[in-house]
Structure 1
Amino acid sequence: MANIFADIPADLTQEVLQDIVVSDQVKIERIISKGHVSPAKGWYDCPQPEWVIVLQGQGTLLFEDGREVVLKVGDYINIPAHMRHKVSQTDREGITIWLAIYY
């Protein structure tokens, strides 16, 4: 048994990406952010769909078409494969815990 809110690193100078489950068809990942954003250049372009939920904190996703989506606790989004996006904002004071499922 494990807890999604346990074992949060004290040093969050780098965003933390942790695989929880990995199989041939599904990957479940915990992401811990504290003011982290995507690099200014480039986009995430995942080859498979990505379902993301914010479990703690908040974050903003920016899509290549200019659309921004603010996700707060409990909000989730399904991002189709190859829909280019990036993280444009996460909570700077507290932490943001995301759960991402690639399928």
Structure 2
Amino acid sequence: MERPDVSDRGNLLHNLPLSAIAEQFIPLAQGDRCRIEQIVSTGQASPPDFWYDQDETEFVLILQGEAELECQGEAPQILHAGDWRILPAHCRHRVNYTQAEPPTVWLAVFYPAATGT
């Protein structure tokens, strides 16, 4: 039996940085119309008055830690381990807070916005 490539597997909660100046965005997989990233946050937040506005839909899941996510026009939402959210394309959003210890670990899946038929 052939040994699988080591890059074909991993554990998203192992070998995490204890602290970092910037969030770490680690690509895990990518196809023609989808990409998956691990994001490791150690207390970072969006700059004041900054809003993400993406062309893609984003599914985010907190694997460890917690974060406060705010979508424009909605009350901020605290996300804990196991909580997930779908951010439709052009849903203006920001991160107000991330837990530093232990680091907040996100799984983010980006895919094309839904189109009408």
State the TM-score, normalized to the length of structure 1. Answer: 0.92
Q: Who wins on radius of gyration, i.e. which is larger?
A: 2
Query: Does the CA-based 8 Å contact 2:36-2:110 persist in structure 1?
Result: yes
Query: In the TM superposition, what are the counterparts of 1:1-103 in structure 2 within 5 Å?
Result: 1-103=9-111
Count of equivalent residues = 103
What do you get for the CA RMSD once the two structures are aligned? 1.3
Q: Secondary structure at the match of 2:56?
A: coil
Deviating above 4 A after TM superposition, structure 1's stretches of 4 or more consecutive aligned residues are none
How big is the shift at 1:88? Answer: 0.3
Residues 54/82 of structure 1: CA separation in 2 closer, same or farther (3 Å cut):
same
Post-superposition Cα deviations, 1:12-64, rounded to whole Å, max 9, x if no partner, equal 22211111011111110100011110111321111111000000000010111
Query: Does the CA-based 8 Å contact 2:18-2:102 persist in structure 1?
Result: no
CA distance in 2 between counterparts of 1:88 and 1:29 reads 20
Determine what percentage of the aligned residue pairs are the same residue. 35
CA distance in 1 between counterparts of 2:66 and 2:19 reads 19
> What letter corresponds to residue 76 of structure 2 in structure 1?
E
Q: Which runs of 5+ in 2 are unaligned?
A: 1-8, 112-117
